Structure 1
Amino acid sequence: MTFEEIRPFVLSVDEDVLADLRSRLERTRWQEAETVTDWSQGARLSTVKSLCDYWREGYDWRRCEAQLNSWGQYKTELDGLAIHFLHIRSAEPDALPMLMTHGWPGSIIEFNKVIGPLVDPAAHGGDPRDAFHLVIPSLPGYGFSDKPSSSGWGVERIARNWPKLMQRLGYDRYVAQGGDWGAAVTNQIGVDRPDGCIAIHLNIPIVFPTPEQMRDMTPSEAAAIKDRECLEATGTGYIGIQSTRPQTLGYGLTDSPAGQAAWIYEKLHFWTDHDGAVESLLTMDEMLDNIMLYWLPGAGGSSARLYWESIATSFQTRRMDLPVGVSIFPKELFRSSRRWVEEAYSNLFYWNELDRGGHFAAFEQPLLFVEELRRCFRHVR
């Protein structure tokens, strides 16, 4: 491994960039309030203004910057792109390497509360035999990874390159985990079965019921289908935009911090399992840390482009015989049943349905998420 292959990456955002952000927030041209008393028209004016006011006056990027630098950031070139990633090694000699992939509108920040317990279980009340070495890359066009300058960087290409990253780091035996786009990438890795990957874990199994299964559903399966139909009817407009016109959308997200914040904040509100306000699960600092990984690199359009590349091809049932573990969180966007999954994944070795948690499982329910990964991968250590 040469210096050119893996190089340390230290974040140090110019103060002028942060001053420009505050200036843009100060000069935001706000639209009028929604004409309803709920979130049915989207993110509410009062809550977005509160978030942006805090972003301008109280948020401390240097705190987040220091945390990212303390974890250990690196870059390496894969297939012509400089890919940004975290690499956190455990002190435990038998730690299991794990590749973790985020989704949209998430980032590596999603894992901020699980890194410590996964790497150093003993320091967090766990068993040191459950330790992991973590490799957490930023997807192409996300965070501080390069933005593709030509088409073709979809899920299949990412899934071909992530194992190269693990090999370059010296890991010849590892597991992989993902949710959202991370689930699509991890699922494709499972289908590809690259040398070294011994098992995967998914928050969202990429499996859909067969026509025969649809005609004979259990009550819980029927409820999952009903929730999916409701989402498709009222909550997937973002997919239509990002999968067809990501470039047009990107102008507004790249120019307006309030626009970028609202675009992500609405999904954090709708896709988490809370009691009425996402702030009961995630602090403003946590949400803004994630939003900053879109704002600072101007990734609103480049991140959306993954939908243009892969939405039509990556969310289809594909058979897999690599060992798979699945955790189903009750407020996940697309929930599957065990029998649907077993039809496609012939080596389903771990399955659990939890009583709380949503789409951003690691972010909103870190203790449950950590325990799921520990229990799942004990089977393959």
Structure 2
Amino acid sequence: MTTIVKMRNSAGSASVNLDRRKFLTVTAIGIAATGAAGLLPSPSASAATSDEIRPFRVDIPEADLVDLRRRVLATRWPEGETVDDQSQGIKLEKIRPLVAYWGKGYDWRKAEAKLNALPQFITEIDGLEIHFIHIRSKEPNALPVIITHGWPGSVFENLKIIGPLTDPTGHGGRAEDAFDVVIPSMPGFGFSGKPTGTGWGTDRIARAWAELMKRLGYTSYVAQGGDWGSPVASAMARLAPQGLLGIHINLPAVVPPEIAAVLAVNGPAPEGLSEKERATFDMLAAGAKMGSRSYATMMGTRPQTIGYAISDSPAGLAAWMLGHPGFANWTYDDSDPEKSPDEVLDDVTLYWLTNSAASSARIYWEYGGGRSPVLAAGEMTDQIGLPVAITVFPGEIYQAPETWARRAYRNLRYFHEVDKGGHFAAWEQPELFSTELRAAFKPLRKPA
């Protein structure tokens, strides 16, 4: 017989921090691939030890969903913006229909079922509970990869790449392209624990991810990240834990110090830039003037202050998250399943139900105010010796020039510009994203 732990989560409680005292221990016939389904509680069983990996299942109380709908339907809206663009923030005509659907048509239980159809787990690392999805490929020589989301993303943004990565033969690839996939929730995000003290920056998360892969029994693996996942993956490469072979990132830190210095004072473009470099400079300069990273400045300096507002108002939370430039071109149109209202609301609702608006915002504060993660000096890219792969997506917040990338990463092994996809590339173009990971990591695979 095997002892397994099952958890109920309640966003209406302050205990979404996954306090181990609230675990219910159960006895099961065996560990099913999808976790703890069908298990019966046994309160008399002993608590799990700190390094155990326990199956996890999402089970949000209905009362929390009723409360969410009540709050959504009671939203008090401001007047609309006084401009025709989004320079004052997300437009009223864009968010109001989405929130109306959230209150009357959206079904969280479908999102919950997506997660519960996958093997999810919880383990304690460095004093914090870490939630993660772990899918082993049927292929015997699969390469393990740990994939990190960012803000305002979540594990939801990576669900569509699980199939192509773990089962490549069913998605246009070859058996030797297979990956074992590990998708953790960042500390303070989703069903992972909320840090109660300072220090959970990208370096500490990188060390936690290395411990997680070691705990899963992997002696060699690769890492991938976009948004905050990029600084985390880069920190892993810089710290070079035993077993890490290389990284792939899709928000690289390539902006040279002299360019960063000019951008910081809104100066003119330096002489001698190539056409692509000048285009990137202009894009970054325009974004700074338009306040594209104003959300980062607020969360980087006063995450607690904004946390009060977005933890109390679902509509406010949705507007705050969807104001991120990565969502700027999303339509939330049912005709485009990659940008459907349901998929957008899966992500926003996860933040609401886990009450993680404030706790997730603190990653910006830990990183150092409104500092941008695309600066090469800030990310200490010159200290990264492991192989690095970069894919540039056309809809990304900025287009990293290859010249800057090769200057920033001395062991850049793969650089590719693709023709589709944006900031949430795995979410938007899962097949293309998976193809990129296969190509990027192919040289790092051990011969069969």
- TM-score, structure 2 as length reference: 0.81
Q: Matches of 1:43 and 1:359 in 2, distance apart?
A: 17
1:236 Cα offset (Å):
1.2
- Paired residues for 1:216-365 under 5 Å: 216-234=272-290, 235-267=292-324, 270-272=325-327, 274=329, 277=331, 279=333, 280=336, 281-311=338-368, 315=375, 316=378, 317-319=380-382, 320-365=384-429
Alignment partner of 1:62: what SS?
A: helix
Alignment partner of 1:31: what SS?
A: coil
1:117 Cα offset (Å):
0.9
**Cα distance per residue 1:248-267 (max 9 Å; x no partner):** 10011111111111111222
Contact 1:272/1:331 (CA < 8 Å) preserved in 2?
no
- Aligned position for 2:175: 128
Q: Matches of 1:262 and 1:47 in 2, distance apart?
A: 10
Alignment partner of 2:381: what SS?
A: coil
How many residue pairs were aligned? 377
* CA distance 1:124–1:285, change in 2 (3 Å): same
- Paired residues for 1:36-115 under 5 Å: 36-115=83-162
Q: Matches of 1:136 and 1:109 in 2, distance apart?
A: 10
Larger relative helix fraction: 1
1:273 Cα offset (Å):
7.9
- Paired residues for 1:139-288 under 5 Å: 139-211=186-258, 215-234=271-290, 235-267=292-324, 270-272=325-327, 274=329, 277=331, 279=333, 280=336, 281-288=338-345
Q: Matches of 2:328 and 2:441 in 1, distance apart?
A: 25
1:216 Cα offset (Å):
2.5
Unpaired runs of 5+ residues, structure 1, are none
Q: State the identity %.
A: 48
Q: Matches of 2:408 and 2:71 in 1, distance apart?
A: 49
Q: Matches of 1:101 and 1:239 in 2, distance apart?
A: 19
Q: Matches of 1:122 and 1:336 in 2, distance apart?
A: 32
- Aligned position for 2:44: none
Contact 1:329/1:353 (CA < 8 Å) preserved in 2?
yes
1:90 Cα offset (Å):
0.7
Alignment partner of 1:47: what SS?
A: helix
Q: Matches of 1:166 and 1:137 in 2, distance apart?
A: 11
1:331 Cα offset (Å):
2.3
**Cα distance per residue 1:302-331 (max 9 Å; x no partner):** 111110001457651421110111101122
Unpaired runs of 5+ residues, structure 2, are 4-47, 260-268
1:348 Cα offset (Å):
1.1
**Cα distance per residue 1:165-221 (max 9 Å; x no partner):** 000000110000001110000001011111000010010222222439954211011
1:126 Cα offset (Å):
2.2
Q: Matches of 2:167 and 2:151 in 1, distance apart?
A: 27
Q: Matches of 1:261 and 1:47 in 2, distance apart?
A: 11
If you compute each CA radius of gyration, which structure gives the higher value, 1 or 2?
Answer: 2
Structure 1 consecutive aligned stretches of length 4 or more whose deviation exceeds 6 Å: none
> Which one scores higher on RCO, CA 8 angstroms, separation ≥ 6?
1
Taking only aligned residues, the RMSD between alpha carbons, in angstroms, comes to: 1.8
